[in-house]
Amino acid sequence: MGSTEQDESAVRKAIEAMDDAEAAAVLTGDPQGPARLWANDLIVNAPNNQVMRFAQILDRMTHQTALQYSSFERHREATLVRRDCAVTMGYEIVVPTGNVPNAGKTVTRRYTNIYHLEEGGWRVIARQATNAAVE
C-alpha cells in the first residue's frame, strides 16, 4: 500500500511539529516533557561523544544538571519521510546552564533525529548531535 502526496505531507507536518515540541520540552527542564516523545529504547550519540540510552538521559535530566538550557533554538533544514520512518536534520543553538561543560556559552551543534511509527504514534528512536562551535 503506497502513500499519497497528501498523506506524506500530513506526516511531514506531524513530524516537524514533534521536532519543534521536543526542543521546547527540553528547554522547560521537565524530563517528562521530552520523554513523552521518545521511544523507550531511544539511543543517542550525544554532543559529549557518549552513546546514551533512554534511562541514562532521564537520569541525567532528573538527578543532574545535564540537559538544562537558558536558551534552545532548533533550525530544521531537512525532513525525510519513508513509510514508518522519518528523519529531521539541521542545527541547534543552545546555552547550557548548571554544572556542565560550556555552561553560559553559546553552542552551535548539528543534529539528526530519527522517528519511527509505533503503536499508533511517532517516537524519536535515535538522535545524533555534534557540537560544531562554542562561543
What band does 5 get if pLDDT is binned at 50, 70 and 90?
confident
Concatenate the DSSP letters of all residues of 70-124 into one string: EEEEEEEEEEEEETTEEEEEEEEEEEE-SSSTTTTS-EEEEEEEEEEEETTEEEE
Could you tell me the pTM of the whole model? Answer: 0.88
Q: Which of 34-38, 83-87, 123-127 has the lowest mean pLDDT?
A: 34-38
User: By the 8 A CB rule, do 129 and 47 touch?
Assistant: yes
What band does 120 get if pLDDT is binned at 50, 70 and 90?
confident
pLDDT greater at residue 25 or residue 109: 109
pLDDT of residue 99: 80
**Which CATH number is correct for 5-134, 3.40.50.800, 3.10.450.50, 3.40.50.300, 3.30.70.2190?**
3.10.450.50
Domain boundaries, the chain: 5-134
pLDDT of residue 47: 87
Is the pLDDT score of 135 beyond 60? yes
Non-local CB neighbours of 100 within 8 Å, separated by 6+ positions: 65, 66, 68
pLDDT of residue 1: 44
Mean pLDDT over the full length of the chain: 89
**Structure confidence by residue, pLDDT tens digits, 55-108:** 888 887 777 666 788 999 999 999 999 989 999 999 999 999 888 889 999 999
Burial of residue 85 (number of CB atoms within 10 Å: 0-12, 13-18, 19+): middle
